[in-house]
Amino acid sequence: MKVAVGMSGGVDSSVTALLLKEQGHDLLGVTLKFHEAPACETEELRVCCSPEDVKDAARVARRLGIPHLVFDWRRLFEEKVVEPFVREYLSGRTPNPCAVCNREVKTGFLASYLAQVAGAERLATGHYARLIDDPVRGRLIKRPKDLKRDQTYFLALVRKEDLSKLVFPLGELTKEEVREIARQHRLPVADKRDSQEVCFLMGKSPGEFIKERVGVKKGLIRHVSGKVLGEHDGIYRFTVGQRRGLGVSYGKPVYVVRLEPESNTVWVGEEEYLYSDALLVKELNLHAPLETAKELKGQIRYRSKPVEVKEVKKTDEGVVVKFKEPVRGITPGQVLALYDGDTLIGGGIIEKPLR
C-alpha cells in the first residue's frame, strides 16, 4: 500500500515511518513548512515546525531509505489557522488551533490532498490514537493505550470522510516504547524532546502574540455586580476560568467568567459563576450518529474530565448539549469532544455556556 507519512522531525512521526517501512508499505515522507523561524528550542522551551525540524525529518527519511518532500504551506497555515486564531481571541473566545489545524491543514486536509496529488492511499501520523472499524458505524477513532498521551480530543473536528484515509500506528504503544524502538534502530531523533507549545507562538503567550499584531486594546474589568475593578490592555489576554494575572483585587478570589467584545469588557466573579450544566455549539461534526452511543460523554478541554451527557437537542441557534452535572469553565472557542465510552464520535466548537 502507498502510505504518506506526516514527518514533523520528532520521535513519534519518525517511529511511525519506521514501523510502516518494516510492514513493507511503499512510503512517502512529507513535512509541512509553516514558518521561517530559527530553531525553537531552549532549556525551557520546545516547539515544532522549525527549519531544524525539517532537517531532522529529512535525516530520518534518508536513514529509512524513503523519499521525502517538503511542502511550503506558510500561506495556507496563516489563512486557515493563524488568522482565525487571532480573530477568535479578539472576539472574546479561546480557540484550539491544533484541533482546527488537524481538520484544515495537517491531518484531514493533508490526507485528501495527498490522495489526489500523490496517489497516497493512506496518511499516517504520529498521533497517540487508535482507529477501529465498527461493523455498524464504520471507521472511528478510539483513545490510545497510553492515556497520558491521548490526542483524540484534537481530532474531534476531523471530517468523517477523512477517517478512512488515516493510519495511527502508535495507538497501541506507550511513549516509552516508542522511544525505545527509536533507540534500538538508532534513529537520530530518539531522544529529542517533545513539542510543548502551539508551534506558531514561538514561546509567547497568546496575549503577547496577538498584541504584537494588533496593539493595545484597553478596556474595563468589571465584577459581575457591575463594579469596575480596573483596566486591561486587551481581552485577548484573558480566558474563562483565569485567576492569575488579572491585576485587580476584590477581597476574595475572582475568576474570568465572561469576555464581552462588544464593550471590550472582562467580567470577573466568584468561582460559582464558572459552573454550567449546558452549552451551545453551532454545529456538530459527527463520526457516528449520537443515538448509537451507549455511554455518551462530553469533554470541554484537552485535560478536562469527560462528563456524562444528559441530552443533545437541535435548536434554532444550534445544538444544545446538556450534562448530568455542572461543568466548570465552559469556554467559547474551545472544542467539545463527544465520546461513546473511549470512542470518539464527534465534536464541535463551543459557542457559549448556557445557564
Whether the pLDDT of residue 276 is over 80: the answer is: yes
pLDDT tens digits, one per residue of 304-345: 999 999 999 999 999 999 999 999 999 999 999 999 999 999
Catalytic residue among 48, 49, 98, 199: 199
pLDDT(39) > 90: no
Question: What pLDDT digit, counting tens, does each position of 163-199 carry?
Answer: 999 999 999 999 999 999 999 999 999 999 887 678 8
The residue count for the chain: 355
Average pLDDT score over the chain: 94
| CA dist., res. 201 & res. 32, Å (int) | 17
Out of 48, 49, 98, 101, which one is annotated catalytic? 101
Residues 119-136 have pLDDT tens digits of 999 999 999 999 999 999
pLDDT at position 46 over 70: no
Helix (H) / strand (E) element for 16: namely helix 11-22
pLDDT 10s digits, 201-254: 888 999 999 999 999 999 999 999 999 999 999 999 999 999 999 999 998 999
Residue 42 predicted with pLDDT over 70:
no
Torsion of CA 171, 176, 179, 180, to 10 degrees: -110
- Please name which of 327, 325, 275, 319 lies closest in space to residue 299, comparing C-alpha atoms: 327
Q: What percent of the chain has pLDDT over 90?
A: 89
CA angle 87, 266, 91 (to 5 degrees): 15
For residues 158 and 108, is the Cβ–Cβ distance under 8 A?
yes
pTM of the model: 0.93
- Which pLDDT value is given to residue 195? 76
For position 47, what pLDDT does the model report? 52
pLDDT of residue 43: 46
What's residue 51's pLDDT?
74
Is residue 199 annotated as a catalytic residue, yes or no?
yes
Task: Say how many C-beta atoms besides its own lie within 10 A of residue 16's C-beta.
Answer: 27
What angle do the packed helices 51-64 and 11-22 form, to 10 degrees?
A: 20
| Grid cell 485577548 in the structure block, residue | 236
Rounded CA separation 10/267 (Å): 41
CA pair distance 129, 172, nearest whole angstrom: 8
Q: Which pLDDT value is given to residue 49?
A: 57
Q: Which residues pair with 353 in a beta bridge?
A: 279
DSSP, collapsed to helix, strand or coil, labels residue 117 as helix
Cβ proximity of 102 and 79 under 8 Å: no
The residue type at 273: Y
When pLDDT is averaged across residues 13-35 and rounded to a whole number, the result is 96
d(CA 97, CA 154): 9
Q: Is 40 a catalytic residue?
A: no
List, in order of start, the domains of the chain with CATH numbers.
Answer: 2-201 (3.40.50.620), 216-269 (2.30.30.280), 275-354 (2.40.30.10)
CA dist., res. 110 & res. 288, Å (int): 22
Give pLDDT, residue 37: 63
Short-list 242, 253, 185, 200, CA closest to 86: 200
Res 44 pLDDT > 80: no
